[in-house]
């Protein structure tokens, strides 16, 4: 009985499974697969056709765009600006006495005197023109300069006297010229016989600036060189040699061979090709337009056996220094001065710019400044460009590290990922604002004793503050502003005067920046604030904001340090949330 029940159960199960499958579904799916295969086949077979079209467009040099060359190379090659398409816009119809008349040329013919005749005549397929009462005159291959003479000779056989002849080329037949070698778009180009080589090169997209030569170009006819062209004659002197092109001529741009690179105090800081007219350091100084202030040249030469030779030459030696391929030349002005210039700003009655001897100290300079009753000479400030640059570099390096951390922070959950993304955007906006900060480069003068040891440098700015009775409080306080100085009052007094700390204040980082640039750090505890030294007129009190970046303590640390550096360098608090 049990065996029978098992058999019935299995039978019903198989029957229900078979009944649930629709055979039409299976049959309906088969054509779909077949159709899909056909569509895929059509798609694949269509791709070569598209590729062929693309290749045809690429191979056709007249339709293809100019190739994009390395921008770094483009900007340092002498002559890079020559080929930009301007020479392809027009052709020049110039009288060329050496041009040889070809089939299809049109000649403006005039005959007067005993016989009057004027007409434009075309050279036919046999090289002839037909003149009434004279007959056919063969002009194929005749020089343009001999055209009138040949016509007169033929007409004189019919009209002996009192007949005058004039003829001129009206329309030159187009010629087809091959342009190849180191050009950007080698190919076959049409133009006039009188067109210059510059026009044909421009049609070919110009010379390849990485390895093409501007000074070694040949025109070939019947596979033999007939003319060598140096484009430096055109670039430097405006001279271009006209050449009567014929169909089938080849313009070949050869490889760049010998060259030097020039930079520094020159009008043309480019790569130049060497030739007979550029052999010495004096030659390249003239070609590159070395400025009158140049006194020296640093030449870096690449010698055999992996040796880099660096030599400095003065101007008197230029004519005796022979250049080598690959030399890197830097022209410099090298002058020594016994004096420096400094600027005097702020509250004083004297000159705003002083010339002093090198080695002058701040103490010696103060004697030269004409102060007045409002000059606070005890809080004198010195600002230096090199210090500002160092502060800027320090801040930028920290910003770069912060950016890396913000973009690479990992998250465990989706919710945390969204928070990280929002924080990263906020940090990136802060980084952009921080990059625009310009440090002042103030030198800290701890006491007046430092005046005697502070040696001034070229470009230093000396600021004489005005005597005032103000203390500046800014940052995370309720009412930032300038407050009247009160003797014997501590930090806590001025923070209370500014409305106390805000909720976002970082009470562990309170900066007191003295008028002389010295920075002191305090925390916000009652004991620390009450025991801190008193403030002086002109001091600044900066309360930094607290940084909240979740669990990423490294980002918090770097952000706090950046805010600290910016506050010291600029006396400004940059808010991360704005």
DSSP codes of every residue in 534-556:
PP-TT-EEEEEEP---TT-HHHH
Q: Is it the case that residue 315 has pLDDT exceeding 90?
A: yes
What's the total number of domains in the chain?
5
Q: In this predicted model, what pLDDT tens digit does every residue of 97-122 receive, in sequence order?
A: 777 888 888 899 999 988 899 999 99
pLDDT at 423: 75
Q: Is it the case that residue 22 has pLDDT exceeding 60?
A: no
User: What would the mean pLDDT of 200-222 be, rounded to a whole number?
Assistant: 94
pLDDT at 424: 78
CATH value at residue 313: 3.10.20
Residues 187 and 162 in one domain: no
pLDDT at 24: 38
pLDDT at 577: 55
Ranges 136-145, 307-316, 460-469, 515-524: which has the least confidence: 515-524
pLDDT at 535: 82
Domain boundary among 313, 332, 351: 332
Ranges 237-246, 283-292, 309-318, 455-464: which has the least confidence: 237-246
Residues 431 and 350 in one domain: yes
Strands 339-346 and 353-357: antiparallel
pLDDT at 58: 36
CATH value at residue 240: 3.10.560.10
Residues 157 and 190 in one domain: no
Q: Is it the case that residue 439 has pLDDT exceeding 90?
A: no
Count the alpha carbons within 13 Å of 201 in the hemisphere toward its beta carbon: 28
The kind and range of the H/E element at 307 are strand 307-314
Ranges 302-311, 370-379, 407-416, 460-469: which has the least confidence: 407-416
Domain boundary among 297, 315, 332: 332
> Which tokens sit at 230?
């140096």
Burial category of 174 from C-beta neighbours within 10 Å (exposed 0-12, middle 13-18, buried 19 and up): middle
Residues 248 and 270 in one domain: no
Q: Which residue has the higher pLDDT, 420 or 466?
A: 466
Domain boundary among 395, 414, 436: 436
Q: In this predicted model, what pLDDT tens digit does every residue of 28-74 receive, in sequence order?
A: 333 333 333 333 333 333 333 333 333 333 334 344 444 444 444 55
Q: Is it the case that residue 295 has pLDDT exceeding 90?
A: yes
pLDDT at 208: 94
Q: Is residue 75 part of a domain?
A: no
pLDDT at 554: 67
CA distances from 244 to 143, 169, 195, 495 (A): 11, 14, 8, 89
Confidence of residue 438 (pLDDT cuts 50, 70, 90): confident
Q: Which residue has the higher pLDDT, 165 or 35?
A: 165
Burial category of 438 from C-beta neighbours within 10 Å (exposed 0-12, middle 13-18, buried 19 and up): exposed
pLDDT at 409: 67
Q: Is residue 510 part of a domain?
A: yes
pTM above 0.95, yes or no: no
Most confident of the ranges 33-37, 140-144, 506-510: 140-144
Confidence of residue 75 (pLDDT cuts 50, 70, 90): low
User: What would the mean pLDDT of 292-316 be, rounded to a whole number?
Assistant: 94
pLDDT at 43: 34
Count the alpha carbons within 13 Å of 315 in the hemisphere toward its beta carbon: 13
Q: Is residue 65 part of a domain?
A: no
The kind and range of the H/E element at 484 are strand 481-484
User: What would the mean pLDDT of 464-484 be, rounded to a whole number?
Assistant: 89
User: What would the mean pLDDT of 264-279 be, rounded to a whole number?
Assistant: 95
pLDDT at 172: 67
The kind and range of the H/E element at 508 are strand 505-513
What phi, psi does 124 have (nearest 5°)?
A: -80, -175
Q: Which residue has the higher pLDDT, 184 or 444?
A: 184
Residues 350 and 415 in one domain: yes
pLDDT at 29: 38
User: What would the mean pLDDT of 240-256 be, rounded to a whole number?
Assistant: 90
Cα 446 to chain centroid distance, Å, stands at 45
Residues 349 and 317 in one domain: no
Rounded-to-integer distance, Cα 364 and Cα 358, Å: 12
Burial category of 215 from C-beta neighbours within 10 Å (exposed 0-12, middle 13-18, buried 19 and up): buried
Residue-averaged pLDDT of the chain: 81
Confidence of residue 572 (pLDDT cuts 50, 70, 90): low
Q: Is residue 58 part of a domain?
A: no
pLDDT at 101: 85
Residues 314 and 366 in one domain: no
Q: Which residue has the higher pLDDT, 24 or 74?
A: 74
Confidence of residue 527 (pLDDT cuts 50, 70, 90): low
Sign of CA dihedral 33, 35, 41, 44: negative
Strands 250-255 and 259-264: unpaired
User: What would the mean pLDDT of 183-197 be, rounded to a whole number?
Assistant: 90
Q: Is residue 432 part of a domain?
A: yes
Confidence of residue 202 (pLDDT cuts 50, 70, 90): very high
pLDDT at 517: 78
Q: Is residue 53 part of a domain?
A: no
pLDDT at 36: 38
Strand partners, 176: 190
Ranges 117-131, 195-209, 427-441: which has the least confidence: 427-441
Residues 419 and 382 in one domain: yes
Ranges 347-351, 477-481, 519-523: which has the least confidence: 519-523
Q: Is residue 397 part of a domain?
A: yes
Domain carrying residue 523: 468-546
Q: Is it the case that residue 231 has pLDDT exceeding 50?
A: yes
Confidence of residue 91 (pLDDT cuts 50, 70, 90): low
Q: Is residue 420 part of a domain?
A: yes
Residues 360 and 313 in one domain: no
pLDDT at 574: 58
């Amino acid at each position: 009985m049990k065996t029978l029940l098992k058999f019935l159960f299995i039978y019903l199960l198989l029957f229900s499974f078979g009944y649930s499958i629709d055979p039409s579904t299976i049959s309906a799916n088969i054509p779909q697969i077949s159709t899909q295969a056909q569509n895929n086949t059509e798609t694949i077979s269509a791709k070569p056709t598209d590729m062929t079209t693309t290749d045809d467009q690429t191979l056709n040099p007249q339709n293809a765009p100019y190739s994009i060359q390395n921008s770094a190379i483009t900007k340092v090659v002498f002559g890079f600006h020559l080929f930009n398409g301007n020479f392809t816009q027009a052709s020049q119809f110039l009288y060329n006495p050496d041009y040889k008349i070809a089939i299809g040329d049109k000649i403006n013919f005039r005959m007067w005197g005993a016989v009057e005749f004027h007409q434009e005549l075309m050279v036919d397929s046999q090289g002839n023109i037909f003149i009434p009462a004279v007959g056919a005159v063969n002009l194929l291959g005749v020089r343009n300069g001999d055209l009138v003479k040949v016509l007169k000779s033929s007409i004189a056989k019919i009209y002996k006297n009192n007949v005058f002849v004039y003829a001129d080329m009206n329309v030159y037949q187009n010629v087809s010229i091959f342009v190849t070698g180191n050009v950007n778009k080698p190919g076959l180009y049409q133009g006039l016989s009188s067109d210059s080589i510059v026009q044909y090169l421009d049609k070919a997209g110009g010379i390849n600036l990485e390895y093409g030569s501007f000074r070694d170009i040949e025109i070939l006819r019947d596979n033999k060189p007939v003319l060598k062209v140096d484009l430096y004659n055109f670039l430097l002197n405006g001279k271009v040699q006209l050449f009567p092109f014929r169909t089938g001529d080849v313009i070949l741009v050869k490889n760049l061979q010998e060259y030097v690179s020039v930079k520094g105090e020159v009008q043309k800081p480019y790569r130049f090709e060497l030739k007979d007219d550029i052999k010495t350091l004096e030659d390249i100084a003239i070609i590159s337009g070395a400025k009158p202030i140049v006194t020296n040249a640093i030449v870096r030469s690449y010698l055999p056996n992996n040796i880099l030779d660096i030599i400095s030459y003065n101007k008197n030696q230029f004519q005796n220094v022979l250049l080598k391929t690959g030399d890197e030349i830097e022209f410099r002005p090298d002058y020594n001065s016994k004096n420096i210039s400094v600027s005097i700003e702020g509250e004083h009655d004297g000159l705003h710019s002083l010339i002093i001897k090198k080695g002058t100290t701040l103490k010696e300079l103060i004697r030269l400044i004409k102060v007045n009753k409002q000059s606070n000479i005890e809080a004198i400030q010195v600002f230096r460009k090199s210090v500002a640059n160092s502060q800027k570099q320090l801040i930028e390096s920290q910003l770069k590290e912060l950016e890396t951390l913000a973009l690479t922070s990992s998250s465990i959950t989706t919710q945390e990922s969204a928070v990280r993304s929002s924080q990263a955007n906020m940090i990136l906006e802060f980084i952009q604002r921080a990059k625009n900060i310009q440090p002042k480069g103030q030198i800290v003068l701890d006491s007046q004793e430092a005046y005697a040891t502070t040696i001034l440098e070229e470009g230093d700015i000396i600021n004489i503050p005005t005597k005032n009775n103000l203390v500046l409080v800014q940052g995370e306080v309720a009412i930032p502003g300038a407050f009247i100085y009160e003797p014997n009052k501590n930090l806590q007094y001025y923070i209370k005067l500014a409305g106390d700390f805000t909720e976002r204040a970082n009470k562990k980082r309170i900066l007191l920046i003295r008028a002389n640039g010295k920075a002191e750090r305090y925390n916000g505890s009652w004991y620390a604030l009450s025991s801190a030294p008193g403030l002086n007129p002109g001091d600044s009190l900066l309360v930094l904001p607290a940084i909240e970046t979740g669990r990423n303590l490294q980002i918090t640390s770097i952000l706090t340090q950046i805010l600290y550096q910016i506050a010291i360098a600029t006396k400004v608090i940059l808010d991360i949330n704005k």
